Amino acid sequence: MALLFLSTPEREAVWRPIFEAAGERFIAGEDAVTDPDEVTHLMCWLPPQDLLRYPNLKVVIGAGAGVDHMPRMPEGVALVRTLAPGIDEMVRDWVVMATLMLHRDMPTYVQQARAGQWKGHAVPRARGTCVGIMGAGRIGALAARTLSDMQFDVVCWSRSGRAVAGAKVFAENGLDDFLAQADILVCLLPLTDETRGILDAALFAKLPRGASLVHAGRGAQLDMDALRQALDDGVLSSAMVDVTDPEPLPEDHWAWNDHRVFVTPHIAANTDHEEGARHALAVIRASRENAELPGKVDQDRGY
């Protein structure tokens, strides 16, 4: 039983000692594989083309929270995404930052500052402002709890409709009612066939007029042309996006120079190396015991 590790030297420097201390076999790089039969687990952002080279491969562990870029695994190979508290907390922090920046009208204040203009406007309160979170998994639920502690009204929309502390939850068929309440819409959805392009003109039109968009899902969920039109029409007033399609966002893209939009370069979170290694060890132990794999992806559902 061995983990084949396909990632950076910096990450290897953290993972290798943790695996060695745990007594687990750790192979870094395909060139270091002497016996493909011993590879049972593989850690990577993207797997190599020829996974069938490893006949005893049981689990592929994706390096991040999202697995939309992963191919379908061969029969009998499970796909796991990394579960790490740091990812949840970092994305939550970014969402809270973005929500506050838009709620407190930073687009206007940044623009005024560039012009050396000292001018205050009415100060909105969190209380009475509704944040609508699309996607209520680990990250969405954490963001919901924090924003609700800050006195925002929080509603969530999720496929399962599972309860979330501090939030009213709308299930799949409640999308329109959910949108009608969301003064600030936060997208944390995984990218699937159902969510590709979901942030479009029709959806924006269902939000309260002048709503704001916070996007930390995946770039392909957002129609950037529709965003621009919605901003121009007053349907939306501002947006902050950490994910774009394509990434990197081209240098001459309109969004860079539009004061109503803040773009960050997919930095909401990264995976803490140690937490990633500990999660991988937990996956290996669970697969040895035939127990449920933490972070196992339902490959039909896509997340």
Q: Which is nearer to ligand GLV, 91 or 207 (CB)?
A: 91
Using CA atoms, how far residue 239 sits from 103, 105, 206, 263, in Å, is 10, 11, 16, 8
Instruction: Give the contacts of 20 (CB within 8 A, at least 6 positions apart).
Output: 26
Q: Distance (Å, rounded) from C-alpha 161 to C-alpha 27?
A: 41
Q: Find the part of the chain contacting ligand GLV (CB under 6 A) among 10-18, 29-37, 62-70, 154-162.
A: 62-70
Q: Which is nearer to ligand GLV, 65 or 293 (CB)?
A: 65
Q: Distance (Å, rounded) from C-alpha 84 to C-alpha 281?
A: 12
Which residues participate in catalysis according to the annotation?
A: 218, 266
Q: Find the part of the chain contacting ligand GLV (CB under 6 A) among 64-72, 141-149, 169-177, 248-256.
A: 64-72
Q: Decide if residue 66 touches ligand GLV (CB under 6 A).
A: yes
Q: Distance (Å, rounded) from C-alpha 50 to C-alpha 155?
A: 44
Amino acid at 101: M
Least distance in angstroms from the C-beta of 81 to ligand GLV: 7
Q: Which is nearer to ligand GLV, 64 or 302 (CB)?
A: 64
Which residue's C-beta sits nearest to ligand GLV?
64
Q: Which is nearer to ligand GLV, 159 or 266 (CB)?
A: 266
Q: Decide if residue 64 touches ligand GLV (CB under 6 A).
A: yes
Q: Which is nearer to ligand GLV, 107 or 276 (CB)?
A: 276
Amino acid at 114: R
Q: Find the part of the chain contacting ligand GLV (CB under 6 A) among 24-32, 61-69, 135-143, 278-286.
A: 61-69
Write phi, then psi, for 68 (nearest 5 degrees).
-65, -20
Tokens of 215: 């996007």
Burial class (CB in 10 A: 0-12, 13-18, 19+), 97: middle
Least distance in angstroms from the C-beta of 274 to ligand GLV: 16
Least distance in angstroms from the C-beta of 119 to ligand GLV: 37
Tokens of 292: 């449920």
Q: Decide if residue 65 touches ligand GLV (CB under 6 A).
A: yes
Alpha helices in 8-127 (DSSP H): 9-21, 85-103, 106-114
How many residues bind ligand GLV, per CB under 6 A?
Answer: 3
Least distance in angstroms from the C-beta of 238 to ligand GLV: 23
Q: Find the part of the chain contacting ligand GLV (CB under 6 A) among 58-66, 96-104, 147-155, 174-182.
A: 58-66
Dihedral (CA of 255, 258, 264, 268) sign: negative
Least distance in angstroms from the C-beta of 92 to ligand GLV: 14
Q: Which is nearer to ligand GLV, 21 or 267 (CB)?
A: 267
Least distance in angstroms from the C-beta of 140 to ligand GLV: 14
Instruction: Give the contacts of 66 (CB within 8 A, at least 6 positions apart).
Output: 81, 190, 191, 218, 303
Q: Which residues bind ligand GLV (CB under 6 A)?
A: 64-66
